[in-house]
C-alpha cells in the first residue's frame, strides 16, 4: 500500500534521525520558543532528566534563572551564534554551558534546534591557563632582569637587518627609560638610537638555529655592563634576559686595581729583601776565600811572629769587613720584615668608626710631638676643622705622620711654617697639611706612597713605611690622600674623609 | 797616548759595589774603578757639576748602573745619559737585583748596552761579572766626547 509505504519511509527517516541524534556528543533539542518537542539521549545525559521528562518541558528550565531572559531574547531574535551561559541540572547543580540555536522548518512550522555543550572541562582548562598566565606575567613583571621578546626584521633579500620588540617587562621599561607602549612595535635602531641594531649577528644566530647563548657585554648607549641570555621560543623570534652587572664590574675593577697594588707591593718588598741577601751570600763566599788565604799564610813558614802577623793581616781585614757586611745585611733584612709585619698589622687592626672632633684630635696630635715642633722652631697654624666620620686612632696616625714629615723635610734655608686647614663639601671633608719645606720632585710624587720608598735615605731617619701606612689607613676609612708639591717651595698633602652623616649628632 | 777605560759604578749598596769590584779584579780587570753612591752623584760627575770628581774629556768610560737608587734612580740616569749628545755613546750596563721582564724591557728601550741581574746565588754572580770582564776587555769604548 502506498500509504503504508509512505508511513514506512517516514518511520525510517525518523529512526535515522533519532539514531543520528543520539549518536551526537552534546545534547540536542528541538523546541518551539522553549517548549521541547524532541531531544536526544545526550541532553538527557547532560541534564539528568529522562527523555520523557524533557519532551514537553520548558527548555529554559535547563538554564540557570539569571540567564533565562538572555536565552529567550536570543530565541526570539533567532540569534545563530554560540554563547555561554550557566546550565542547571535536575539535581540543581550548575555547570558551564555553551548553547547554539538555529531555526529550522519542522513538521510544517519553524522551530529551533538548540545544541547544548557542557564546557566545564574547557572552562577549567581556560581558568588554569589564565592562572598560569597570571603567574608568569607577574613573574615577568617583577623580575629585576630585563626580559624582552623580539622578532627579526629581514630586508627584501631575506637578510636580517634589524629586530622588533614584541613584548617587554617592567624592568626593561624602567632601566631603558621608555614606556612599554613606546617600545612594543619599535625596532632596535629606533629604541636605542643606533645606526645598527646591537648584537644583531648573535641574536639572529639564536633566532635561526634556536640554540641559546649567553654573553657579557658593555653597552655603550646606556654606559652599562650586562650579562645577556638569548633564547628562541620559535623561529625568527628571540627573547633576551639581561642582567645589569655594572656594579659587579665596578667592584671587579676595584679588586683588580687592589690586586695590582698588592702585586706591586710584594714585588718591591721582595726586591728590597733580595738586596741584603746578595750581600749575605756574596760576603759569605768572600769569607771562604779569606779563610783559604789565611791558611796559605799560616802554612807558608814565616821567619818571625811579626812576619806571620803581617801575612795574616790582609785576609783578617777582609774577614772583618765581610762580617760587617753580613751583619748589616741581616739587620737590614730584619728591619724590612718588621716593616712588612707592621703594615700587615695596621691593615688588620679593628676600626671603630664614629664622629670625630678634628679640632680636638689635631691638638692632641700636636701636643704629643710638641717637643719636635718647638725644637724645629716652626710656626704651626691650625684653622677650625670640620668633624668627620672615621676611626680616631687611625686618623691620629695619619696626621701625626703627615705633620712629622712636614717637620722632617723643612728647608734649612727659611723658617718653617706648617698650616693645617679643612673644609666640608658634599659629604666629604678635605683636610690639608701644608709646609714650606724642600718639596718633592714631580717624578717622585707618586712613588713616595710605595712601601720602603725613601727619596734621600742619607738625610733622614725612617723605614720608608709612613706614607704607605697613611695610604692604607685612608683606604680602609673610605678616604683618599693626594699630594701637591713644588720642589724648593713646599708640599701640600690633602686628606679626604667621609663627613658625618647628617642624621648623626656630634658629641 | 790612549788612556785605559775607566769603569764607573753607580750603586747605593756599598756591599754590592764591593762585590762587583772584587769580582772584576778576579776576572782580570785592572781598569780604574770609580764608585758613586746614587744617581745624583754619577750625573754630577758626568755633567761636571758640583764639588766632587769630574769627568775627564780625554777618557773613555763604561757605566755600571744599579736601577733602584735614591734621589735619581738608574732608569732616570740612563734616560739622561742617552739624551745627552756627548754621553749617549757611553756603554751603560744595568746591574740590578730586578729581574722583572718589564723593567729589563724598559731599560733596553731606553738604550742600555747590557743587562745583568745580581743573582743571590754567588756562582752566577761571579760568572756574570766574569763575562762582563770579557765584554769590557773586547769592547770598543768611544771617548765620551766622541773623538776616539
Is B24 contained in some domain?
Answer: yes
Residues of A in contact with B76 (CB under 8 A): 443
Residues of B in contact with A271 (CB under 8 A): 68, 97-98
Residues of A in contact with B22 (CB under 8 A): 286
Other Cβ atoms within 10 Å of A266 Cβ, number: 12
Written as nine digits, the cell of B37 is: 753612591
Own/partner long-range contacts of B107-111 (Cβ < 8 Å, ≥24 apart): B107/B67, B107/B74, B107/B75, B107/B78, B110/B75, B110/B78, B110/B79, B110/B82, B111/B78, B111/B82
**The pLDDT of residue A24 is above 80:** no
Give the CATH number for residue A6.
Answer: 3.30.450.20
Q: Note whether A285 contacts B122, CB cutoff 8 Å.
A: yes
pLDDT per residue as tens digits for the range A128-163 = 999 999 998 888 888 889 999 999 999 999 899 999
Q: Cα–Cα distance between B101 and B55 in angstroms, integer?
A: 32
Tell me which residue of B148, B108, B114 sits closest to B131, measured CA to CA: B114
B85 contact A CB<8A: no
Consecutive H or E run containing A28: strand A27-32
Residues A231 and A256 in one domain: no
Burial of B5 (0-12, 13-18, 19+ CB in 10 A): buried
Q: Cα–Cα distance between A188 and A359 in angstroms, integer?
A: 58
Is A132 contained in some domain?
Answer: no
Q: Note whether A283 contacts B19, CB cutoff 8 Å.
A: yes
Residues in chain B, how many? Answer: 148
What's the structural domain count of chain A? 4
**DSSP letters spanning A252-278:** HHHHHHHHHHHHHHHHHHHHHHHHHHH
Residues of A in contact with B19 (CB under 8 A): 278-279, 282-283, 286
Chain A: residue whose CA lies nearest to B95: A275
pLDDT of residue A108: 79
B71 contact A CB<8A: yes
Residues A79 and A177 in one domain: no
Written as nine digits, the cell of A135 is: 603567574
What's the mean pLDDT in A432-460?
84
Grid look-up 764607573 returns: B8
B103 contact A CB<8A: no
Chain B: residue whose CA lies nearest to A332: B13
Consecutive H or E run containing B123: helix B122-138
CA distance B69 to chain A (A): 9
Residue range of the domain that includes B131: 6-138
Query: A305-314, B4-13, B27-36, B125-134: which has the minimum mean pLDDT?
Result: B125-134
Residues A290 and A407 in one domain: no
Q: Note whether A443 contacts B18, CB cutoff 8 Å.
A: no
pLDDT of residue A191: 87
B121 contact A CB<8A: yes
Q: Note whether B118 contacts A278, CB cutoff 8 Å.
A: yes
pLDDT of residue B1: 33
Chain A: residue whose CA lies nearest to B122: A282
B79 contact A CB<8A: no
pLDDT of residue B147: 43
Query: A16-25, A50-59, A287-296, A434-443: which has the minimum mean pLDDT?
Result: A16-25
What's the mean pLDDT in B105-114?
86
What's the mean pLDDT in A317-337?
92
Final residue belonging to a domain, choices A227, A244, A261: A244
B97 contact A CB<8A: yes
pLDDT per residue as tens digits for the range A51-80 = 889 999 999 999 999 999 999 999 999 999
Which of A267, A274, A321 has its CB closest to that of B120? A274
What's the mean pLDDT in B117-123?
70
B22 contact A CB<8A: yes
CA dihedral A183, A189, A194, A195 (to 10 degrees): -170
Is A137 contained in some domain?
Answer: no
B99 contact A CB<8A: no
Q: Cα–Cα distance between A94 and A98 in angstroms, integer?
A: 13
pLDDT of residue B143: 60
Consecutive H or E run containing A9: helix A2-23
β-pairing verdict for A35-39 and A27-32: antiparallel
B120 contact A CB<8A: yes
Is B145 contained in some domain?
Answer: no
Q: Note whether B19 contacts A282, CB cutoff 8 Å.
A: yes
- HSE toward the beta carbon, residue A355, CA cutoff 13 A: 11
3-class SS of residue A446? coil
Q: Cα–Cα distance between B113 and A134 in angstroms, integer?
A: 77
Grid look-up 665596578 returns: A250
Is B33 contained in some domain?
Answer: yes
**The pLDDT of residue A266 is above 80:** yes
Q: Note whether A286 contacts B22, CB cutoff 8 Å.
A: yes
pLDDT of residue A23: 66
Question: pLDDT-derived band of residue B2, with 50, 70 and 90 as boundaries?
Answer: very low
Q: Note whether B15 contacts A278, CB cutoff 8 Å.
A: yes
Residues of A with CB under 8 A from a CB of B: 267, 271, 274-279, 281-286, 321, 325, 328-329, 443, 454-458
Query: A12-16, A86-90, A233-237: which has the minimum mean pLDDT?
Result: A12-16
**The pLDDT of residue A209 is above 80:** yes
Residues of B in contact with A279 (CB under 8 A): 13, 15-16, 19
Residues A219 and A279 in one domain: no
**The pLDDT of residue B54 is above 50:** yes
**DSSP letters spanning B39-93:** HHHHHHHHTT-SSS----TT-BEEEEE-S--SSS-HHHHHHHHHHSTTTTTS-EE
Question: pLDDT-derived band of residue A22, with 50, 70 and 90 as boundaries?
Answer: low
Q: Cα–Cα distance between A374 and A306 in angstroms, integer?
A: 58
Consecutive H or E run containing A168: strand A160-168
Is A210 contained in some domain?
Answer: yes
Chosen from A266, A268, A271, A457 to mutate, greatest number of chain B CBs within 10 A: A271
Residues A357 and A494 in one domain: yes
Residues A185/A275, Cβ–Cβ less than 8 Å? no
Helix, strand, coil shares of chain A as percentages rounded to 5?
Answer: 50, 25, 25
What's the mean pLDDT in A320-333?
93
Q: Cα–Cα distance between A113 and A454 in angstroms, integer?
A: 107
Chosen from A264, A267, A275 to mutate, greatest number of chain B CBs within 10 A: A275
Residues A192 and A107 in one domain: no
Q: Note whether B18 contacts A325, CB cutoff 8 Å.
A: yes
Residues A38/A28, Cβ–Cβ less than 8 Å? no
Phi, psi (rounded to 5 degrees) for A376: -75, -15
Question: pLDDT-derived band of residue B146, with 50, 70 and 90 as boundaries?
Answer: very low
What's the mean pLDDT in A3-17?
67
pLDDT of residue B148: 42
pLDDT of residue B80: 93
Residues A344 and A403 in one domain: no
pLDDT per residue as tens digits for the range B60-79 = 888 999 988 877 888 899 99
Is A436 contained in some domain?
Answer: yes
Residues A101 and A158 in one domain: no
Is A128 contained in some domain?
Answer: no
Q: Note whether A278 contacts B16, CB cutoff 8 Å.
A: yes
Residues A381/A362, Cβ–Cβ less than 8 Å? no
DSSP strands (E only) in A383-488: 388-391, 417-425, 428-435, 480-486
**The pLDDT of residue A325 is above 90:** yes
Is A506 contained in some domain?
Answer: no
Is A262 contained in some domain?
Answer: yes
**ipTM of this predicted structure:** 0.82
Give the CATH number for residue B101.
Answer: 3.40.50.2300
For residues A76 and A452, the model is more confident at A76
Residue range of the domain that includes A175: 143-244
Residues A358 and A376 in one domain: yes
Question: pLDDT-derived band of residue A15, with 50, 70 and 90 as boundaries?
Answer: confident
pLDDT of residue A434: 95
Phi, psi (rounded to 5 degrees) for B143: -65, 150
Q: Cα–Cα distance between A411 and A199 in angstroms, integer?
A: 62
| Chain mean pLDDT for chain A | 88
Q: Note whether A283 contacts B76, CB cutoff 8 Å.
A: no
Residues of B in contact with A324 (CB under 8 A): none
Give the CATH number for residue A463.
Answer: 3.30.565.10
Q: Note whether B122 contacts A281, CB cutoff 8 Å.
A: yes
Written as nine digits, the cell of A273 is: 729583601
Question: pLDDT-derived band of residue A1, with 50, 70 and 90 as boundaries?
Answer: very low
Q: What percent of chain A has pLDDT over 90?
A: 54
Q: Cα–Cα distance between A159 and A164 in angstroms, integer?
A: 15
Is the Cα dihedral B36, B37, B40, B44 positive or negative? negative
Final residue belonging to a domain, choices A194, A219, A244: A244
pLDDT per residue as tens digits for the range A210-239 = 899 999 999 887 888 999 999 998 888 999
Final residue belonging to a domain, choices A67, A84, A119: A119
B102 contact A CB<8A: no
Tell me which residue of A442, A469, A333 sits closest to B13, measured CA to CA: A333
Q: Cα–Cα distance between A114 and A31 in angstroms, integer?
A: 8
Other Cβ atoms within 10 Å of A134 Cβ, number: 10
Q: Note whether A278 contacts B97, CB cutoff 8 Å.
A: yes
pLDDT per residue as tens digits for the range A34-54 = 899 888 888 999 999 998 899
Is A173 contained in some domain?
Answer: yes
Phi, psi (rounded to 5 degrees) for A100: -145, 125
| Chain mean pLDDT for chain B | 82
Written as nine digits, the cell of A165 is: 620588540
Chain B: residue whose CA lies nearest to A286: B19
Q: Note whether B16 contacts A281, CB cutoff 8 Å.
A: no
pLDDT of residue A166: 93
Written as nine digits, the cell of B51 is: 764639588
**The pLDDT of residue A417 is above 90:** yes
Question: pLDDT-derived band of residue B140, with 50, 70 and 90 as boundaries?
Answer: low
Amino acid at each position: 500500500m502506498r500509504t503504508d509505504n509512505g508511513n514506512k519511509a517516514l518511520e525510517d527517516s525518523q529512526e535515522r534521525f533519532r539514531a543520528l541524534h543520539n549518536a551526537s556528543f552534546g545534547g540536542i533539542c528541538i523546541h518551539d520558543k522553549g517548549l521541547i518537542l524532541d531531544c536526544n539521549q545526550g541532553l538527557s545525559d547532560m541534564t539528568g532528566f529522562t527523555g520523557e521528562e524533557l519532551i514537553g518541558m520548558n527548555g529554559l528550565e535547563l538554564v540557570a534563572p539569571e540567564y533565562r531572559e538572555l536565552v529567550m531574547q536570543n530565541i526570539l531574535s533567532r540569534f545563530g551564534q554560540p554563547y555561554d551561559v550557566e546550565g542547571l541540572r535536575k539535581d540543581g547543580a550548575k555547570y558551564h554551558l555553551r548553547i547554539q540555536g538555529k531555526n529550522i522548518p519542522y513538521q510544517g512550522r519553524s522551530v529551533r534546534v538548540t545544541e547544548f555543550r557542557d564546557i566545564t572541562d574547557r572552562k577549567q582548562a581556560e581558568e588554569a591557563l589564565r592562572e598560569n598566565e597570571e603567574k608568569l606575567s607577574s613573574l615577568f613583571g617583577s623580575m629585576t632582569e630585563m626580559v624582552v621578546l623580539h622578532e627579526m626584521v629581514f630586508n627584501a633579500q631575506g637578510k636580517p637587518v634589524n629586530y622588533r620588540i614584541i613584548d617587554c617587562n617592567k624592568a626593561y621599561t624602567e632601566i631603558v627609560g621608555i614606556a612599554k607602549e613606546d617600545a612594543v612595535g619599535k625596532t632596535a635602531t629606533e629604541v636605542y638610537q643606533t645606526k645598527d641594531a646591537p648584537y644583531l649577528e648573535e641574536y639572529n644566530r639564536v633566532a635561526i638555529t634556536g640554540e641559546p647563548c649567553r654573553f657579557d657585554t658593555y653597552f655603550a648607549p646606556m654606559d652599562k655592563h650586562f650579562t645577556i641570555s638569548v633564547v628562541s621560543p620559535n623561529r625568527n623570534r628571540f627573547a633576551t634576559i639581561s642582567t645589569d652587572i655594572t656594579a659587579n664590574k665596578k667592584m671587579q675593577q676595584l679588586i683588580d686595581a687592589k690586586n695590582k697594588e698588592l702585586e706591586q707591593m710584594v714585588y718591591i718588598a721582595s726586591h728590597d729583601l733580595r738586596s741584603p741577601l746578595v750581600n749575605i751570600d756574596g760576603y759569605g763566599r768572600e769569607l771562604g776565600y779569606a779563610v783559604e788565604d789565611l791558611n796559605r799564610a799560616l802554612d807558608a813558614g814565616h821567619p818571625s811572629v811579626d812576619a806571620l802577623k803581617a801575612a795574616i793581616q790582609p785576609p783578617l781585614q777582609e774577614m772583618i769587613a765581610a762580617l760587617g757586611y753580613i751583619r748589616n745585611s741581616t739587620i737590614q733584612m730584619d728591619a724590612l720584615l718588621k716593616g712588612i709585619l707592621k703594615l700587615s698589622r695596621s691593615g688588620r687592626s679593628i676600626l671603630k668608626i664614629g664622629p670625630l672632633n678634628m679640632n680636638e684630635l689635631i691638638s692632641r696630635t700636636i701636643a704629643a710631638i710638641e717637643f719636635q715642633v718647638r725644637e724645629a722652631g716652626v710656626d704651626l697654624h691650625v684653622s677650625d676643622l670640620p668633624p668627620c666620620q672615621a676611626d680616631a686612632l687611625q686618623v691620629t696616625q695619619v696626621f701625626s705622620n703627615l705633620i712629622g714629615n712636614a717637620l722632617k723635610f723643612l728647608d734649612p734655608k727659611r723658617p718653617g711654617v706648617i698650616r693645617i686647614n679643612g673644609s666640608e663639601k658634599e659629604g666629604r671633608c678635605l683636610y690639608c697639611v701644608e709646609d714650606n719645606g724642600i718639596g718633592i720632585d714631580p717624578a717622585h710624587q707618586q712613588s713616595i706612597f710605595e712601601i720602603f720608598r725613601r727619596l734621600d735615605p742619607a738625610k733622614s731617619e725612617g723605614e720608608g713605611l709612613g706614607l704607605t701606612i697613611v695610604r692604607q689607613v685612608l683606604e680602609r676609612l673610605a678616604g683618599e690622600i693626594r699630594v701637591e708639591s713644588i720642589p724648593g717651595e713646599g708640599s701640600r698633602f690633602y686628606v679626604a674623609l667621609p663627613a658625618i652623616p647628617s642624621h648623626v649628632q656630634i658629641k | 797616548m790612549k788612556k785605559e777605560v775607566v769603569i764607573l759604578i753607580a750603586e747605593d749598596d756599598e756591599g754590592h759595589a764591593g762585590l762587583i769590584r772584587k769580582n772584576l779584579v778576579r776576572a782580570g780587570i785592572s781598569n780604574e774603578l770609580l764608585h758613586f753612591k746614587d744617581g745624583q752623584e754619577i750625573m754630577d760627575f758626568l755633567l761636571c757639576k758640583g764639588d766632587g770628581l769630574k769627568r775627564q774629556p780625554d777618557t773613555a768610560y763604561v757605566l755600571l748602573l744599579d736601577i733602584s737608587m735614591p734621589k735619581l734612580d738608574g732608569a732616570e740616569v740612563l734616560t739622561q745619559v742617552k739624551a745627552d749628545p756627548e754621553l749617549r755613546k757611553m756603554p751603560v750596563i744595568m746591574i740590578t737585583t730586578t729581574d722583572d721582564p718589564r723593567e729589563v724591557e724598559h731599560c733596553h728601550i731606553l738604550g742600555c748596552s747590557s743587562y745583568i741581574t745580581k743573582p743571590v746565588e754567588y756562582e752566577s754572580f761571579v760568572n756574570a761579572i766574569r763575562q762582563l770582564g770579557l765584554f769590557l776587555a773586547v769592547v770598543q769604548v768611544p771617548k765620551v766626547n766622541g773623538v776616539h
